[in-house]
Chain A
Amino acid sequence: MSTLASAVAAAVAGATMHEGFGPVTVDVPRERWRDGLAAAQTAGATFFDLLTAYDDAPAGLAVVVHLATPHLRDHLLVRTVVPDAIRELDTATGVYRGAAWHERETHEMFGIDFVGNARLDPLLLGADLGAAPLRKDFVLAARAARAWPGEKDPSDQGGRPRRRTVPPGVPTDWPEAGS
């Protein structure tokens, strides 16, 4: 078990550890996000690798930071969950300055506001898009604008198809082309 992760979990109230396939993940409550990062830095994880998020519906958006000690002797993931209704999280830039760029990307793709980071301008998308493309509720325009070519049934002689085929990976509640 990672001593780094144990130190962070012991320093932050309400933190839990999960080993998984490694590295060890320390889950911290959303209110103690900054404390968790500061504890990791104090414990020796001075190398900030990345900050990113994933849509962990219905719990919310999980934000993950990968941190390591210099010379990469030990590393850990610090994670917290931002509920959909809130979409706000303290910025990590007060602890790790390099997180600024990652928070900008994560804000653009997931719509999380990092409180205290004033420079969350979009990197790739137009400012007027008003949507977060990596959230699971974001409907891909390319999947809604065009009919699925696999819908055709070669054995269909104009009657009702024997079995309706649906495109794999496309949620059934997305609008269909032409609707």
Chain B
Amino acid sequence: MSAADPRASRARGVIALLEQNCTVCMLCVRECPDWCIEIDSHTVTLPADETHRRPRTEAVLDRFAIDFGLCMYCGICVEVCPFDALHWSPVAEYAATSSAGLVHERDRLSSWEPTVPAPPALDLHAAVDDPGPRRATGRS
């Protein structure tokens, strides 16, 4: 956003997805009052290695879609996400000419991630051991 942009950085324009942080826990899907989030996934079995003594299964995201035609911008999904995979972006120029165009799939949702503003600075007298809002860069 430019300096002349009148929108506050906290404005609720569109929801951005940080794919690496999503663990397919389904919390956002289940908490959404509008049923506007859809997730498809499958599980893969990872072999044992030096840090994991036994083979383990991990959910892999196949599809993550938000229907902004249904979304009412309550932000509950952003709040409940335990791994900070969802963020508000103030960008609002995503009008479409059909209702299908308002369904954003994972690539489109991920494309909003660079427009997410940095979290606000901590209060001057905030406890120093508080790490503040996390913007994890994902598992490597």
Bound Cα distance A143, B32 (Å):
13
Bound Cα distance A46, B39 (Å):
55
* Per-position 1/0 for B28-47, Cβ under 8 A of A: 01111101011111010000
Q: How far is the CB of A84 from chain B (nearest CB, A)?
A: 27
Given contacts A149-B29, A165-B30, A168-B30, are A154 and B35 in contact (CB under 8 A)?
Answer: no
Closest partner residue, chain A, to B36 (CB atom)? A149
Given contacts A148-B35, A149-B38, are A155 and B43 in contact (CB under 8 A)?
Answer: yes
Given contacts A150-B29, A165-B30, are A157 and B35 in contact (CB under 8 A)?
Answer: no
Contact check, B38 vs A169: say whether CB atoms are below 8 A apart.
no
Please, which residues of chain B bring their CB within 8 A of the CB of A155?
43, 57, 59
Contact check, A157 vs B38: say whether CB atoms are below 8 A apart.
no
Q: How far is the CB of B113 from chain A (nearest CB, A)?
A: 22
Please, which residues of chain A bring their CB within 8 A of the CB of B35?
142-143, 146, 148-150, 167
Residue A152, interface by CB 8 Å? yes
Q: How far is the CB of A143 from chain B (nearest CB, A)?
A: 8
Which of A135-157 touch B at CB < 8 Å? 142-143, 146, 148-150, 152-155, 157
Which of B45-97 touch A at CB < 8 Å? 57, 59
From B33, B38, B59, contact of A154 by CB (8 A): B59
From B33, B39, B59, contact of A149 by CB (8 A): B39
Q: Which residues of B are in contact with A by a Cβ distance under 8 Å?
A: 24-26, 29-33, 35, 37-41, 43, 57, 59
Nearest 9 CB-CB pairs, A to B?
Answer: A150-B30, A154-B59, A150-B29, A154-B24, A149-B38, A154-B41, A149-B29, A149-B35, A150-B26
**New A-B pairs, 16, CB < 8 Å, besides A153-B26, A154-B39, A154-B59:** A142-B35, A143-B35, A148-B35, A149-B37, A149-B39, A150-B26, A150-B30, A152-B40, A152-B41, A154-B26, A154-B41, A154-B43, A155-B43, A155-B57, A155-B59, A168-B30
